[in-house]
């Protein structure tokens, strides 16, 4: 499946997603009602368990959002469990070269395209009711593999990473990229490197993605800079921001 087919029928110019940091399934429901195209269940920077991720995956799918999962590392067994739980794609942190990109792509595909094991009695196999051929087809064609580029080495290798068979796109981890370079997040050098990724992705015919926090101009910026998807906000921060805004507004409205 191409990235475009995975997000057919979009309301906007490119898919818009958000991070899921909280364990409550109400987060998934709220983001679906808000109209997000996908969620990224974050197992790298939270204490969410695989079991919680599985519940989020099932609910997001039922509500019409593509459930992606950011894994904490590249362990194939972790990837396999999440895909059998029904994840529609995996974000792999800290992919710095084509060799690593090949390894994570292989973890998402069944042989002969990769090394994922068969688990047809899982949710992905509709609990054993899905014909084996369809279970394997979905695993090899419908799952997205999205390496994260978070270092200078990764940016320098971007063309080789995008050329790897089974890599469907890339995501730029700008915060970690800034850490790797020892620069502040808003440094012009970071912007240049992110633009380099979007240009390489367009040449390869694959999407690049970025995250813009709660910047309401984030979607427009992503489109203007040629990216193929964008992640805005996260459930925890959106809750805090809404609560803070309400409380600050209420206090400021009090008259003596």
The Cα–Cα gap between 210 and 230 comes to 5
- Strands (E) located in 66-174: 66-70, 89-92, 144-149, 170-172
Contact 89, 143 (CB under 8 A): yes
Question: What DSSP line would sit under 154-169, residue for residue?
Answer: HHHTHHHHHTSTT---
Query: Is the Cα torsion angle 108, 111, 115, 116 positive or negative in sign?
Result: positive
Choose, from 45, 56, 94, 113, the residue flagged as catalytic: 45
Contact 155, 193 (CB under 8 A): yes
Contact 87, 58 (CB under 8 A): no
Contact 191, 178 (CB under 8 A): no
Query: Is the Cα torsion angle 220, 222, 227, 233 positive or negative in sign?
Result: negative
Nearest CA among 245, 237, 253, 197 for reference residue 20: 237
**Radius of gyration of the CA atoms of the chain, in A:** 19
The Cα–Cα gap between 69 and 90 comes to 5
Residue 45 appears among annotated catalytic residues? yes
Catalytic residues: 45
């Amino acid at each position: 499946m191409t990235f475009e087919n995975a997000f057919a029928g979009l309301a906007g110019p490119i898919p818009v997603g958000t991070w899921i940091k909280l364990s409550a399934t109400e987060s998934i429901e709220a983001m679906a009602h808000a109209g997000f195209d996908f969620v990224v269940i974050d197992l790298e920077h939270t204490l969410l368990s695989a079991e919680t991720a599985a519940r989020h995956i099932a609910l997001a799918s039922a509500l019409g959002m593509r459930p992606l999962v950011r894994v904490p590392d590249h362990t194939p067994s972790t990837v396999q469990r999440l895909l059998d739980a029904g994840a529609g794609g995996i974000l792999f942190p800290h992919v710095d070269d084509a060799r690593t990109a090949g390894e994570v792509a292989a973890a998402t595909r069944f042989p002969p395209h990769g090394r994922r094991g068969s688990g047809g009695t899982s949710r992905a196999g509709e609990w054993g009711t899905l014909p084996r051929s369809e279970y394997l087809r979905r695993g090899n064609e419908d799952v997205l593999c999205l390496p994260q580029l978070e270092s200078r080495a990764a940016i320098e290798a971007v063309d080789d990473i995008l050329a790897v068979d089974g890599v469907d796109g890339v995501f730029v981890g700008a915060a970690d990229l800034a850490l790797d370079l020892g620069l502040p997040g808003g440094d012009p050098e970071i912007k240049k490197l992110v633009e380099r990724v979007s240009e390489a992705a367009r040449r390869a015919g694959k999407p690049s993605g970025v995250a813009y926090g709660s910047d309401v101009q984030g979607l427009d910026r992503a489109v203007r800079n040629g990216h193929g998807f964008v992640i805005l906000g996260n459930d925890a921060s959106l809750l805090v921001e809404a609560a803070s805004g309400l409380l600050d507004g209420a206090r400021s409205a009090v008259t003596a």
